[in-house]
Amino acid sequence: MSCQRETRKNQFGRIRLCTGLMVIGLIWGGLQFAGAQNTAWAQSQSKASKKTPQTLQMDVQLQPDPPRQRKNVVTIAVKDATGKPVDQAQVTVEYSMPAMGSMPEMRGEAKVQALSGGRYEAPFDLVMGGTWTLDVTVTAPTGATASRYEFTVGKAGLHPVQAKPEPVKK
């Protein structure tokens, strides 16, 4: 009877050993496969980012300066990383004033019109005087960018809130 116990213990030990080796082999193989997949993905992303610049340049002007409550126009000139004008971009212009006391937040979006040579124009009116925030976002096949500005009705200047436009993720 003790021989049978010894044989069963040996069989059970061999089974555990084989199972453990199989698990280790599967884990190692999976890690190798995942590493190869991640390397291929990283290489494809690297090639894609070299082909397409991820940022655009924009120059934003507000007329009249100083701005007023009615008949303001934002003009946006969009260029790619090489300085070439970008036509057919998606441009949004939104303006807002934060809530103050019992007054709720005020928001609006200007209708953007494409001109030629990478220029866009967005006329808008404000419901009241005060300090407003202006968000300009540009998305094109060659990249994207966004900037935030602040202006005050009756005071000259369109002041960037962010010193440099930041790329927008597509």
The band of 64, judged by pLDDT with boundaries at 50, 70 and 90, is very high
Query: Could you read off the pLDDT of 69-103 as tens digits, one per residue?
Result: 999 999 999 999 889 999 989 999 999 999 999 99
pTM of the model: 0.63
CA dist., res. 12 & res. 110, Å (int): 76
Mean pLDDT, residues 12-40 taken together = 57
Mean pLDDT, residues 108-128 taken together = 96
The band of 22, judged by pLDDT with boundaries at 50, 70 and 90, is low
Mean pLDDT, residues 37-59 taken together = 51
For residues 41 and 86, the model is more confident at 86
The band of 11, judged by pLDDT with boundaries at 50, 70 and 90, is confident
Query: What pLDDT shows up at residue 14?
Result: 74
SS3 52: coil
Q: Is the pLDDT of residue 105 over 60?
A: yes
Q: Taking the CA atoms of 19, 20, 25 and 31 in sequence, report the sign of the dihedral they define.
A: positive
Phi, psi for residue 63 in degrees, rounded to 5: -125, 140
- Domain boundaries defined on the chain: 1-51, 57-160
Q: How many residues appear in the chain? A: 170
Q: Is the pLDDT of residue 123 over 70?
A: yes
Question: Do the Cβ atoms of 119 and 103 come closer than 8 Å?
Answer: no
Percent of all residues in the chain with a pLDDT value above 90, rounded to a whole number: 56
Q: What is the CA radius of gyration of the chain?
A: 30
Question: Do the Cβ atoms of 76 and 89 come closer than 8 Å?
Answer: no
CATH number belonging to the domain at 57-160, selected among 3.90.1010.10, 3.90.1170.50, 3.40.50.720, 2.60.40.1930: 2.60.40.1930
